[in-house]
């Protein structure tokens, strides 16, 4: 059985697709299952929106990240923190987070979860968006700098593009709670949302290096070609492996006619890969049962996984029913 967390989760999903002759199953935890190309296009959208609307006059990188990624991250975090102190900054941060399908829930400076915002609490949701971008110990913007630098170096160029992307469409497809938050923040700031979307539409687009795209495709594009069972696990508030990517993976699998081999699960927790050991044991146990019996059972439902979690630890499990938004940057290589 292939399994791992974060990049390990990404790789385990890849091995299930490429090496079904070696692995009998896979349990990817918090992997970026939008695929190597798709997830980095999504990250480009977030940073491009921030740069275009808030920091057009600053030397903050979007692509072509310099070697000193720690400094680039500090500069971005400082700029975002400054913007968060103003109504206009909060509005545009909310829009960028909605476009990038980030969670409206974050972690504090110590990496501890903040209270999950109540529906309709625009201030708390916007604060969560900001924290997902620039807060906690592993902010989205930091990964957007450090990992992009590594990828661009290995690929020999930029593998991401936003040519042909309509950010008004991406905003319109965001989760309703995030759209409501954006509208409220814009109203408070006295900004015109439609005008900002027109500004984004008029900004010069970023093109990709075709050779870099081909390099990243090898790393992998998920096309749904499954021959072994897979159980995915993702926090709903993961700011790095955003939960909408799970929808893209599920869609690819079903499109290929392999939906019977897939089960997807979600946890009501915030942050990247914030599982307890018991929650991980539960998923592995459920897959072991699937391999032993040859069929899926109630063990892969939230109730079943929480029961298995309870058998492995004292604290209750946090598996929950959840339906992610449609991933806005799907790429299946076809």
Domain spans, the chain: 2-34+230-320, 37-214
- Tell me the pLDDT tens digit for each residue of 122-173: 999 999 999 999 999 999 999 999 999 999 999 999 999 999 999 999 999 9
| C-beta of residue 198 within 8 angstroms of C-beta of residue 96 | no
Q: Which residue has the tokens 């625009």?
A: 122
pLDDT score, position 178: 96
Q: How far is it, in rounded angstroms, from Cα 265 to Cα 285?
A: 14
Token digits of residue 115: 């209270």
pLDDT tens digits along 254-264: 999 999 999 99
* pLDDT at 228 (0 to 100): 98
Q: For residue range 62-77, what is the model confidence (pLDDT) as tens digits?
A: 999 999 999 999 999 9
Helix (H) / strand (E) element for 123: namely: helix 122-134
Q: What class has domain 2-34+230-320?
A: alpha beta
Query: Is 128:107 a contact under the CB 8 Å cutoff?
Result: no
pLDDT the model gives residue 51: 98
pLDDT at position 333 is 86
- What Å distances lie between residue 145 and 1, 29, 140, 270, CA to CA? 32, 23, 9, 21
Phi and psi at 302, nearest 5°, equal -55, -40
pLDDT in tens, the chain (334 residues): 999 999 999 999 999 999 999 999 999 999 999 999 999 999 999 999 999 999 999 999 999 999 999 999 999 999 999 999 999 999 999 999 999 999 999 999 889 999 999 999 999 999 999 999 999 999 999 999 999 999 999 999 999 999 999 999 999 999 999 999 999 999 999 999 999 999 999 999 999 999 999 999 999 999 999 999 999 999 999 999 999 999 999 999 999 999 999 999 999 999 999 999 999 999 999 999 999 999 999 999 999 999 999 999 999 999 999 999 999 999 998 6
The C-alpha angle 282, 283, 289, rounded to 5 degrees, equals: 90
Q: Give residue 84's pLDDT.
A: 98
């Amino acid at each position: 059985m292939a399994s791992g967390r974060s990049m390990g989760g990404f790789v385990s999903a890849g091995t299930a697709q490429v090496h079904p002759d070696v692995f009998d199953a896979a349990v990817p935890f918090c992997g970026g299952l939008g695929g190597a190309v798709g997830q980095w296009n999504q990250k480009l959208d977030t940073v491009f929106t921030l740069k275009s609307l808030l920091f057009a006059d600053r030397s903050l990188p979007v692509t072509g990240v310099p070697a000193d990624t720690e400094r680039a991250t500090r500069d971005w975090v400082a700029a975002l923190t400054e913007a968060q102190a103003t109504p206009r900054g909060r509005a545009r941060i909310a829009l960028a987070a909605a476009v990038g399908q980030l969670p409206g829930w974050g972690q504090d400076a110590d990496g501890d979860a903040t209270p999950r915002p109540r529906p309709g609490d625009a201030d708390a949701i916007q604060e969560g968006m900001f924290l997902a971008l620039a807060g906690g110990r592993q902010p989205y913007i930091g990964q957007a700098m450090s990992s992009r630098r590594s990828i661009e170096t290995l690929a020999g160029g930029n593998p991401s593009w936003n040519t042909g992307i309509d950010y008004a469409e991406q905003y319109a497809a965001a989760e309703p709670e995030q759209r409501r938050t954006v509208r409220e923040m814009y109203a408070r700031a006295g900004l015109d949302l439609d005008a900002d979307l027109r500004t984004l539409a008029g900004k010069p687009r970023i093109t990709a290096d075709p050779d870099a795209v081909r390099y990243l495709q090898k790393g992998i594009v998920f096309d749904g070609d499954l021959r072994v069972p897979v159980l995915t696990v993702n926090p709903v508030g993961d700011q790095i492996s955003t939960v909408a990517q799970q929808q893209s993976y599920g869609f690819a699998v079903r499109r290929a006619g392999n939906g019977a081999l897939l089960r997807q699960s979600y946890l009501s927790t915030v942050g990247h890969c914030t599982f307890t050991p018991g929650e991980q044991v539960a998923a592995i146990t459920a897959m072991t049962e699937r391999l032993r019996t040859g069929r899926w059972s109630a063990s892969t439902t939230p109730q079943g996984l929480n029961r298995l979690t309870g058998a492995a630890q004292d604290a209750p499990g946090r598996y929950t029913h959840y339906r992610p938004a449609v991933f806005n940057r799907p790429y299946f290589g076809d």
